[in-house]
A = this chain, B = another copy of it.
Amino acid sequence: MAAEGLFNRPLSVRLRGPGCQERRLDVRVNIELLSISNPVHRKDLAVRLTNDADPFFLYNLVISEEDFQSLKSQQGLLVDFSAFPQKFIDLLQQCIHEQNKDIPRFLLQLVSSTSDLDHTPVSLNIVETNPFKHLTHLSLKFLPGNDAEIKKFLANCLKCLKEDKMILEEKLKKTEEDLTRQLSYTQQ
Report which A residues bind B (CB closer than 8 A).
55-56, 146-148, 150-151, 154-155, 157-159, 161-162, 164-165, 168-169, 171-172, 175-176, 179-180, 182-183, 186-187
In the assembly, what is the distance between CA of A114 and CA of B67, in Å?
42
In the assembly, what is the distance between CA of A150 and CA of B56, in Å?
12
Chain B contacts of A183 at CB under 8 A? 179, 182-183, 186
Task: Output the nearest chain B residue to A187 by Cβ-Cβ distance.
Answer: B186
Pull 12 A–B residue pairs with CB atoms less than 8 Å apart, ordered by A.
A55-B158, A147-B147, A147-B148, A147-B150, A150-B151, A154-B155, A164-B165, A165-B165, A165-B168, A179-B179, A179-B183, A186-B187
Chain B contacts of A169 at CB under 8 A? 168
In the assembly, what is the distance between CA of A147 and CA of B169, in Å?
32
Chain B contacts of A158 at CB under 8 A? 55, 154, 157-158, 161
Q: How far is the CB of A163 from chain B (nearest CB, A)?
A: 11
Task: Output the nearest chain B residue to A161 by Cβ-Cβ distance.
Answer: B161
Most B C-beta atoms less than 10 A away, residue of A151, A157, A159, A164: A151
Q: How far is the CB of A171 from chain B (nearest CB, A)?
A: 6
In the assembly, what is the distance between CA of A53 and CA of B187, in Å?
45
5 closest A-B pairs by CB: A179-B179, A147-B147, A55-B155, A154-B154, A151-B151
Task: Output the nearest chain B residue to A58 by Cβ-Cβ distance.
Answer: B151
Chain B contacts of A164 at CB under 8 A? 165
New A-B pairs, 11, CB < 8 Å, besides A147-B150, A165-B168, A176-B179: A147-B151, A154-B155, A157-B158, A158-B158, A158-B161, A161-B162, A161-B165, A164-B165, A172-B175, A179-B179, A179-B182
Chain B contacts of A176 at CB under 8 A? 175, 179
A56 in complex: contacting residue of B155, B157, B161, B165, CB < 8 Å: B155
